[in-house]
Amino acid sequence: MLNNWFDQLEAMYEQMVDWRRFLHQYPELSFQEIETPKMVATILESYGIEVRTNVGGRGVVGTIRGAKPGKTIALRADFDALPIQDEKNVPYKSKIPGVMHACGHDGHTATLLAVAKVLSDNKDSLSGNVVLLHQHAEEKLPGGAIGMIEDGCLDEVDYVFGSHLSSIAPLGTYVYRSGYSMAATDFFEITIRGKGGHGSAPHETVDSVAVASQVINQLQLIVSRRVDPQKEAVVTVGSFHAGNAGNVIADSAKLTGTVRTFDPEVRSLVEEEVKQIVNRVCEAFHAQCEIIYDNGYPALYNHEQETATFEEIIKNSLQEDMLTERPPVMGGEDFAYYLQERPGMFFHTGAALSNTEDRYPHHHPMFDFDEKGMVFAGKALLSIAHHYVTENSNINLLVK
């Protein structure tokens, strides 16, 4: 059965490419998606799939109900783009100035649409249901996942899985990790207000640039001196803006940055340390401060049992040497919210271009990927569905 599903998916490759390239030419930013969810809903409905729209805002949920009762598994794809100018010289270059799919979400959407067609065409062989989570706004806080969950997208779901195409990982590989896999993503904005004045008379001022510099230096000590060295954390100040003339002492300065952690206790510790350092340094140098600290997505935790099941699924359905375990990464993903609600896991599917000179990281204006990666991602998702919602799985695992 599964090999037949694979054949059906491969037969849809050109359609997947067409969908992906259309979406790439007409990207839509997070929380501004209008035409993309319409397209997704229209395609799913054309397959006879039960569809809900405007889920949690702009999400689309399709449900494929099998002929027999059983478990319900959810598969997720995101469809928002980024505020980046597409600089590639390709026929499917973005037609929307300053907006592009620089993270592969167009490929995720095309993949899940093809998977939906295969599963819908074979629903009479399903013992259980498949929920298709087409999610908006993964790239921008608070993210689309949390709204979709609050709107009931997981109400009938027992397990949830997702894949992310990788422009760096070799084509046809599956990159994953059990346990903490991706970091919690927090952001801060610090405004320091001093007293401006002439550059020749610093004693008459409170130099916001000097104070902000001290804040930056002290923030770098959090990880090295306050966090357990056996636990991961990153504190990065990404921007520093102050003043506009060389002979003027600026009366205010603004810092923005991000914090990445896995352990919830470390996450809380770093937040408290950031706030204390800023307040105390400013107090010591007679400046005022304002701190905006936003808790972003939680750390993504792949459940051990479901990750072990995924390993066996790939080994039995595809090929063992396709699997690549890797250390956790400090990037974030709002798929973490789904995994706080239901058991499951999230993995990356290799889609690196064959020419290494053409490979660029995610969120880069030259980003692209090998579109054959969509077939590999689709085969993995079909294999997962086959295991959980058919009676013919050849994997000897006890599903909880």
Domains of the chain plus CATH, in order, are 2-182+299-389 (3.40.630.10), 184-295 (3.30.70.360)
Q: Which of 33, 80, 334, 371 is catalytic?
A: 80
Q: How confident is the model at residue 397 (pLDDT cuts 50, 70, 90)?
A: very low
CB 21 within 8 A of CB 93: no
* Percentage above 90 pLDDT, the chain: 96
**Which residue from 111, 90, 175, 86 is spatially nearest to 367, judged by alpha carbons?**
86
How far apart, in whole angstroms, are the C-alpha atoms of residue 373 and residue 358? 15
Q: What are phi and psi of 243, to 5 degrees?
A: 65, 170
Q: What are phi and psi of 360, to 5 degrees?
A: -130, 150
The mean per-residue pLDDT over the stretch 189-202 comes to 97
Total-model pTM? 0.93
Instruction: Supply 204's token pair.
Output: 């008459």
Which residues, 6+ apart, have CB-to-CB distance to 33 below 8 Å? 58, 79, 80, 136, 137
Q: Which of 138, 139, 251, 306 is catalytic?
A: 138
20 to 25, 237, 324, 349: CA distances (angstroms)? 9, 35, 26, 16
What digits encode the pLDDT tens for the residues 278-326?
Answer: 999 999 999 999 999 999 999 999 999 999 999 999 999 998 889 999 9
- Specify the pLDDT at position 399: 39
The mean per-residue pLDDT over the stretch 252-278 comes to 98
The mean per-residue pLDDT over the stretch 18-36 comes to 98
80 tagged catalytic = yes
Q: How confident is the model at residue 393 (pLDDT cuts 50, 70, 90)?
A: low
What digits encode the pLDDT tens for the residues 334-345?
Answer: 999 999 999 999
Extended strands (E) in the chain: 50-55, 59-65, 68-78, 127-135, 159-166, 174-176, 179-182, 184-193, 197-198, 233-242, 248-249, 252-261, 288-295, 300-302, 323-325, 344-350
